[in-house]
Amino acid sequence: MEENKNEEQNVNTEELKRQTVDTVNQVKETIKNVDFKNDAKEATGFVSAMFKDPFENIRQIANDSTNKHFKTAILFVLLWMIVLVIDRIFGMYYAPNGFSVSFAFKQILSFIKVALGPVIGVIVLSGIIYFMNKENKKSLITNITAVVTAKIPVIIATIISLLTIIDSKVSLITTPISSLCYVISIVLTYFATKTLFGEEQNSNFLKKFVIIEAIYYAVYVIVSLLGIYMK
């Protein structure tokens, strides 16, 4: 029995390696073939569809073996990273004693950490779902696409928060909107994860979702010690 468990673990490890390589290759291919005009139009249509019927769209994505929306998901993550970096640039402080190599290095490092936040967050959550989903396992790419789709309200909240660059008083409006977007994102993440697992009953799945979130935030605490805050 112990041998069977070790063999199964080795198979899962090899499968994860293969899935990771496929994901990295698809990301490279996506970035290489970006067509901003057409892709922006497609992304806009995708968001419009999400507003009309978010649950049905997530259901389709979670059950889509062709992963046709993976490119759109990657573009949303890139947009998310860019917005966070812009927000960091306007929120940065300047060296009191003028420019120095040390100061420049620290600022560049802070930009990298800010940009990595959403990427690591999506990968960690998708990986946890992939490992815990034993009976209805989907590809890592499908998990990532579904997770990013559920994070779209958070991405929108991040974009809206840029308005505070113009005037800090705008936060009186943007803060409650952002809070609402985060709540919506949690609901969508729950539904996306539930669909990926193929669960029908909430009573059967709620415990699994709590465990997934607990593992995610445990990793969040560890990663935050490096100054990287997952989104």
42-96: pLDDT as tens digits: 888 888 888 899 999 999 999 998 888 898 999 999 999 999 999 888 876 555 5
Average pLDDT over residues 191-216: 92
d(CA 191, CA 88) in angstroms, rounded, equals 32
- The residue whose two tokens read 């989907």 is 138
- The residue whose two tokens read 């990793």 is 219
* Cα separations in angstroms, 111 against 84, 95, 114, 123, 190: 9, 16, 5, 19, 30
217-226: pLDDT as tens digits: 999 999 999 9
Sign of CA dihedral 217, 220, 224, 228: negative
pLDDT-wise least confident of 77-81, 126-130, 162-166, 189-193: 162-166
Instruction: Give me 221's structure tokens.
Output: 């605490």
Backbone angles phi, psi at 65, to 5 degrees: -75, -15
Residue with more model confidence, 31 or 198: 198
141-159: pLDDT as tens digits: 999 999 999 999 999 999 9
**Are the C-beta atoms of residues 61 and 69 closer than 8 Å to each other?**
yes
- The residue whose two tokens read 């860019």 is 82
Rg (alpha carbons) of the chain, rounded to whole number: 19
d(CA 167, CA 206) in angstroms, rounded, equals 41
d(CA 7, CA 18) in angstroms, rounded, equals 17
**Are the C-beta atoms of residues 89 and 110 closer than 8 Å to each other?**
no
* Cα separations in angstroms, 167 against 82, 171, 178: 20, 8, 16
- Model pLDDT, residue 157: 94
pTM of this structure: 0.87
Average pLDDT over residues 18-26: 80
Residue 189 has pLDDT above 70, yes or no: yes
106-149: pLDDT as tens digits: 888 989 999 999 999 999 999 999 989 988 889 999 999 999 99
Sign of CA dihedral 127, 210, 179, 142: positive
* Cα separations in angstroms, 122 against 1, 47, 200: 34, 18, 24
Residue 228 has pLDDT above 80, yes or no: yes
